Amino acid sequence: MTRTLVVVGHGMVGHRLVEALRERDEAGAWRITVLAEENRPAYDRVALSSYLDGKSAEDLSLTSHELLDDPLVDLRLGTAVTGVDPAARTVSTSDGLVLSYDALVLATGSRPFVPPVPGHDLDGCFVYRTIEDLDAIRDAAKESRPGVVIGGGLLGLEAANALRLLGMQAHVVEMAPRLMPLQVDEGGGQVLGRLVEDLGLVVHCGAATQSINGEGAVRSVTLADGTVIETDLVVFSAGVRPRDELAELAGLARGERGGFLVDERCRTSQEHIWAIGECAAVDGRCYGLVAPGYSMAEGVAEQLLELGEGTFPGADLSTKLKLLGVDVASFGDAHGQTDGALEVVYANNAAGTYAKLVLSDDARVLLGGVLVGDASAYSVLRPLVGRELPAPPEQLLLPAGSGVDTGALPADATVCSCNNVTKQDITTAITEHGLTDVPGIKACTRAGTSCGSCVPMLKNLLGECGVSTSKALCEHFPQSRAELFEIVQATGIGSFSELIGRYGSGRGCDICKPAVASILASLGHGHILDGEQAALQDTNDRYLANMQRNGTYSVVPRVPGGEITPDKLIVLGEVAKEFGLYTKITGGQRIDLFGARVEQLPAIWRRLVDAGFESGHAYGKALRTVKSCVGNDWCRYGVQDSVSMAIRLELRYRGLRAPHKIKAGVSGCARECAEARGKDFGVIATDKGWNLYVGGNGGFTPRHAELLAADLDDEQLIRLIDRFLMFYVRTADRLQRTAAWIEAMEGGLDHLREVIVEDSLGIAEELEAAMQRHVDSYRDEWAGVLGDPAKLARFVSFVNAPEAPDPTISFVQERGQIRPGPVSLPMPTVGVQEVHA
- Domains annotated on the chain, with CATH: 3-111+242-304 (3.50.50.60), 125-238 (3.50.50.60), 481-537 (no CATH), 622-779 (3.30.413.10)
Residue 738 exposed, middle or buried by CB count within 10 Å (0-12, 13-18, 19+): buried
- pTM of the full structure: 0.57
Strand partners, 520: none
Model pLDDT, residue 443: 80
Strand partners, 154: none
Q: Which H or E run includes 323? A: strand 319-323
Model pLDDT, residue 202: 94
Measured N-to-C along each axis, helices 12-24 and 290-304 cross at an angle, to the nearest 10 degrees, of 30
Cα–Cα distance, 353 to 177 (Å, whole number): 19
669 labelled binding-site residue: yes
Model pLDDT, residue 325: 66
Cα–Cα distance, 117 to 776 (Å, whole number): 65
Sign of the dihedral defined by the CA atoms of residues 145, 146, 149, 153, in that order? positive
418 labelled binding-site residue: no
Model pLDDT, residue 268: 96
Cα–Cα distance, 613 to 564 (Å, whole number): 10
Model pLDDT, residue 452: 66
**For 92-232, where are the alpha helices, taking DSSP H only?**
131-140, 154-165, 186-198
451 labelled binding-site residue: no
Cα–Cα distance, 803 to 411 (Å, whole number): 68
Confirm if 785 and 791 have CB atoms less than 8 A apart: yes
Model pLDDT, residue 10: 95
10-residue averages of pLDDT along the chain (837 residues): 94 95 92 95 87 78 87 95 95 95 96 94 95 94 92 89 89 93 88 86 94 95 95 94 94 94 95 96 90 93 91 82 77 88 85 88 90 82 85 69 59 78 88 81 81 72 77 87 92 92 89 90 86 81 86 93 94 95 91 92 95 94 94 90 96 95 94 92 94 84 85 96 96 90 83 93 95 94 92 76 68 86 44 38
In a 13 Å sphere around the CA of 695, the CA atoms on its Cβ side amount to 19
Model pLDDT, residue 97: 94
Secondary structure (3-state) at 798: coil
Confirm if 567 and 773 have CB atoms less than 8 A apart: no
Model pLDDT, residue 375: 80
Rounded to the nearest 10°, the torsion over CA 180, 181, 183, 185 is 120
Model pLDDT, residue 540: 87
Around Cβ 415, how many Cβ atoms within 10 Å? 29
Measured N-to-C along each axis, helices 455-464 and 438-445 cross at an angle, to the nearest 10 degrees, of 100
Model pLDDT, residue 824: 42
Model pLDDT, residue 453: 66
Model pLDDT, residue 519: 93
Model pLDDT, residue 826: 38
